[in-house]
Amino acid sequence: MDINYLIISFVFLPLAGCLLLLFFNEKAETLIANTALYAVGLTFFSLLAFVVYWGLSEKFIPLNIKELVLYESESYIFLIDFYMDFAAVTYLLVGAFLTFLIIRYSHYYMHLEPGYKRFFTVILFFYTSYNFTVLAGNFETLFAGWEMLGISSFLLVSFYRERYLPVRNAVKVFSIYRIGDVGIILAMWASHHFWHENITFSRLSDTAFVNEHIAQHNLEALFIAICILVAASAKSAQFPFSSWVARAMEGPTPSSAIFYGSLSIHFGVYLLIRTMPFWEQQTIARILIGAVGLITAIVGYQTARVQPTIKTQIAYASVAQIGLMFIEIALGFKTLALLHLVGNAFLRTYQLLVSPSVVSYLIREQFYHFVKRNDHQAFIFGKKFHYALYLLSLREFYLDFLMTSYIFRPFKKIGSQLNFITYRNVFFYFVPSYLLGWVFWFYKSALPLALLPFIPIGLGLIALLVIMRAFSERRYPVHAWLLVILGHFWIALAVIYNETFTAKELIWYLSGVVLSGFFGWLCLVYLRKRESPYFNLYQYQGHSKEYPYLTWVFLACNLGLMGFPITTTFIGEDLIFGHVHQEQLVLAFCLASSYVIGGIALIRIFARLFLGIHAKTHQEAPLQSF
């Protein structure tokens, strides 16, 4: 038997299960849970079979499998590539084991819960993305999995979609994930230029090859390493991104346990292990990774010890341990870090699952062992330091506040300065100027040469501004939607100035945008017609209550427009970056920011319109503070 098939099955079995669930009746609980259980159980089984086979026949030598070429031209190839080594197998085994247990657990735990089917579908989708990401053999594949993880996380945090806090926090978590995505996108872009080929992770294990490149391009190598570190920190809730993980504890306890206690949260560590051969030789990168780990360990520990809620405490304790893993990795103890993460994953999963028991347990402890504490002990560093540290830790070192006020608010502020871009003048200014852009491109040879390098940057900036405007739009959802589409078009225009961007590539990029943009627009127009008093972005409208199917259709369009790997735009995005030159860091940054901000703007439209407290019912509606 070809071992490839076995490896593919790790992704396809859960995916098949996930798709199968869509056809089941919401009420058929046992059928749903058992299908999920079999899907994961079979994966677990085939994984074990693989490990035995691989160990016996190949002595655990890493495998690289080029699975599928999705796009190919002379200069560029996009392929799904899988890579299997010891770290991957560890992750796969832990993932399969815990997911299997959690599904079994949830069969009973979720009994009678509205959204039973949705829960299992999303868990399987998550598990698919998990395996896909773990197996990723190149950045492109990894990025696809990375995006899927982000959206499954969004869906699980907002599982109780009729309430305010889960939805708000889901958007928060998604936003921070998106920041991590900038890291990956830029790392992808820089490595295109760095290696001059579509680099696979297996190539990275060729030390001589890697060292040679690094020696030549020292600074670029460091840039890539930092991008990777940003992505890893965001995913693993390291400093300064730590605050999201506690806020993600909004779903049912088992999903929190599997996601934020164990599997999802360790992906930053995985990314670092995966790319270790690359940054291992760079002392500065190692110092940075170690520093992030150290700061997180301290911040996480201080935060964990003062929190009065059990799930926050476990979340930060876990984050602090991952900080230690970063240090271990920076020091080069890869195996130790792997062991550590397995232990941590199991421990935190269990701790989260038994967290409701803490009441009876600790009250009993208090009942038998209570000692009245003396408030007036002497403080080693003085009272002021003690109090300040306490308050600082209680407020999570202001990390949540810093994220919103220094990263997202500036974008929103700039966007709202652009209020002159309204529904109507889009047609008066932007469409004509956009067409003008094409006309100029046609006569590119006539333009002054000195001007040429600035045009793509200028256009990229316009794209970013348009997207920021969409991000800050509060009244008209359709407007925001169209602005995002427009942003994509400006990006396309910016890149074609760079060099020969073939029509084929353009179609790859824009076809997904147009298709999902159009259907999404239809959804919005339909909804506006039906629910005009409840059609704005000032507050959550909660239309999923009355339009469950439209919710899913719009979500799909939303993802398509976001460049999620369901349309050609996903590959198109990569193509676009392939055409950004090495020295065009500003342009790359503009485009990357547009993807991030655009993604957040889109998920915000979705969340505000379809999720949250239903704006139409006043009775039997949850309070905002729930």
Partner 1 sequence: MKNNASSLAFSEEQALSNLHRFLPKQNPLKDFIYQNTLASFESEPFHKALEHASTLFGYKTYMHIEEYRELYDQGRIKPDMLRRSIRAYTGKSNVEELESHLLHQKYLAEFKPRLGQLYQLWTTKYLYNLAKRVHSLLFRFVSSYIDQGVAMRKFPLTDGSFIEAVRELEAHSGWFGMLSSKRAKTLLQDKDKTLADLLHILVGDEAYYEQYLIDQQFGHPGWSGMVAVLEKNPSSLLDRREISLRDFIFFELLMEINALDQHFGEGKWQPLASVIPEANIKPFFAPIEHQIFFEALAIWQEAYEWSFFDQVLFGLTQPLPPQNFDPSSHRYDFQGIFCIDERECSLRRYVEEMANAQTFGAAGFFNVAFYFQPKDSKFLAKSCPPPVTPIHVVRETYAPEHHHKRDTHFSQESKNLVYGWAISHAMGWLSAIRLAVNIFKPTETPALVSSFKHMDKESRIQFENRKLEESKDGLKLGFTIAEMADRMETLLKCIGLTRNFAPIVYIIGHGASNVNNPHYTAYGCGACSGQTGSVNARVAAAMANKPEVRAILAQRGVVIPDSTEFVGALHDTTRDEMEFYDDEYLDDINSKAHQQHQKILAKALAYNAKERSRRFLLMNSNRSPEAIHEDVKLRSLSLFEPRSEWDHASNAMCIVARRRTTKHLFLDRRSFLHSYDFEQDPKGTYLLAILRAVVPVCGGINLQYYFSANDQYRFGAGSKLPHNVIGLVGVANGIDGDLRTGLPQQALDIHEPLRLMLVVEHYPELVLDLLKQDMPIRDLMGRAWLHFVVVDPRDRRVYQYGSDYEWHEYLPLTTSLPVTNDLASLTASSSESLPVYWIETKKQETARPS
User: Could you say which residues in the range 339-368 bind partner 1, by CB under 8 A?
Assistant: 339-340, 342-347, 349-351, 353-368
**Pick 402 or 556: Cβ nearer partner 1:** 402
CB of 69 to partner 1, least distance (A): 39
Exactly one of 301, 408, 476, 534 binds partner 1 (CB under 8 A); that residue is 301
CB of 103 to partner 1, least distance (A): 10
Q: Return the residues of window 380-439 that contact partner 1 according to CB under 8 A.
A: 383-384, 386-388, 390-395
CB of 260 to partner 1, least distance (A): 11
Kindly give the residue spans of alpha helices, DSSP state H, lying in 158-282.
164-195, 201-204, 207-216, 218-235, 243-247, 253-256, 267-274, 276-279
Q: Return the residues of window 83-142 that contact partner 1 according to CB under 8 A.
A: 97, 101, 104-113
**Pick 338 or 571: Cβ nearer partner 1:** 338
**Pick 304 or 571: Cβ nearer partner 1:** 304
Q: Return the residues of window 456-485 that contact partner 1 according to CB under 8 A.
A: none
Q: Which stretch binds partner 1 (CB under 8 A): 54-62, 316-324, 476-484, 541-549?
A: 316-324
Sign of CA dihedral 50, 56, 60, 63: negative
Residue 565 to residues 80, 145, 470, 594, 598: CA-CA distances in angstroms?
Answer: 12, 9, 22, 17, 16
**Pick 157 or 214: Cβ nearer partner 1:** 157
**Pick 287 or 354: Cβ nearer partner 1:** 354
CB of 61 to partner 1, least distance (A): 27
**Pick 332 or 432: Cβ nearer partner 1:** 332
Exactly one of 17, 95, 166, 487 binds partner 1 (CB under 8 A); that residue is 166
Residue 279 to residues 84, 297, 329: CA-CA distances in angstroms?
Answer: 20, 22, 11
Q: Which helix (H) or strand (E) holds 497?
A: none
What is the distance of C-alpha 148 from the center of its chain? 7
CB of 474 to partner 1, least distance (A): 9
Q: Return the residues of window 170-189 that contact partner 1 according to CB under 8 A.
A: none
Q: Which stretch binds partner 1 (CB under 8 A): 336-344, 421-429, 521-529, 556-564?
A: 336-344
**Pick 357 or 582: Cβ nearer partner 1:** 357
CA–CA separation, 169 and 239 (whole Å): 18
CA–CA separation, 285 and 225 (whole Å): 6
Residue whose structure tokens are 């997202």: 408
**Pick 419 or 425: Cβ nearer partner 1:** 419
Q: Return the residues of window 206-265 that contact partner 1 according to CB under 8 A.
A: 246-247, 249-254, 256
**Pick 275 or 351: Cβ nearer partner 1:** 351
**Pick 401 or 427: Cβ nearer partner 1:** 401
Q: What are the backbone angles phi and psi of residue 326, rounded to the nearest 5°?
A: -60, -40
CB of 309 to partner 1, least distance (A): 5
What is the distance of C-alpha 471 from the center of its chain? 18
Q: What are the backbone angles phi and psi of residue 83, rounded to the nearest 5°?
A: -135, 130
Exactly one of 211, 216, 309, 335 binds partner 1 (CB under 8 A); that residue is 309
CB of 360 to partner 1, least distance (A): 5
- Residue 203: closest CA among 132, 267, 135, 275: 275
First to last CA, the chain: 54
What 3-state class would DSSP assign to 617? Answer: coil
Q: Return the residues of window 607-626 that contact partner 1 according to CB under 8 A.
A: 617-626
**Pick 29 or 140: Cβ nearer partner 1:** 29
Exactly one of 370, 420, 443, 549 binds partner 1 (CB under 8 A); that residue is 370
| Gyration radius of the chain's alpha carbons | 25
Q: Which residues pair with 71 in a beta bridge?
A: 78
DSSP code of residue 403: I
What 3-state class would DSSP assign to 73? Answer: coil
CB of 379 to partner 1, least distance (A): 9
DSSP class per residue in 177-191: HHHHHHHHHHHHHHH
CB of 343 to partner 1, least distance (A): 3
What 3-state class would DSSP assign to 472? Answer: helix
Exactly one of 160, 267, 471, 606 binds partner 1 (CB under 8 A); that residue is 160
Q: Which stretch binds partner 1 (CB under 8 A): 227-235, 310-318, 517-525, 545-553?
A: 310-318
**Pick 210 or 314: Cβ nearer partner 1:** 314
Q: What are the backbone angles phi and psi of residue 200, rounded to the nearest 5°?
A: -100, 160
What 3-state class would DSSP assign to 240? Answer: coil
- Residue 579: closest CA among 221, 177, 139, 73: 73
- Residue 226: closest CA among 175, 281, 179, 186: 186
Output the six-digit token pair for 486: 């427009």
Q: Return the residues of window 495-554 that contact partner 1 according to CB under 8 A.
A: 538-539
**Pick 198 or 312: Cβ nearer partner 1:** 312
Based on the shown chain and the rule CB under 8 A, indicate whether residue 295 belongs to the binding site for partner 1.
no
DSSP code of residue 522: H
Exactly one of 375, 381, 451, 503 binds partner 1 (CB under 8 A); that residue is 375
> Do 127 and 99 form a contact (C-beta atoms < 8 A)?
yes
Phi-psi category of residue 147: left, alpha or beta, with phi > 0 → left and psi -120 to 50 → alpha: alpha
Number of amino acids touching partner 1 (CB under 8 A): 104
CB of 622 to partner 1, least distance (A): 4
CB of 130 to partner 1, least distance (A): 17
DSSP class per residue in 106-139: HHHHTTT-TTHHHHHHHHHHHHHHHHHHHHB-BH
**Pick 322 or 486: Cβ nearer partner 1:** 322
| AA letter at 278 | F
CB of 241 to partner 1, least distance (A): 16
Output the six-digit token pair for 559: 């993802």
CB of 623 to partner 1, least distance (A): 7
Q: How many CA atoms lie within 13 A of 209 on its CB side?
A: 13
Q: Return the residues of window 10-39 that contact partner 1 according to CB under 8 A.
A: 29-30
| AA letter at 310 | I
CB of 83 to partner 1, least distance (A): 26
**Pick 107 or 203: Cβ nearer partner 1:** 107
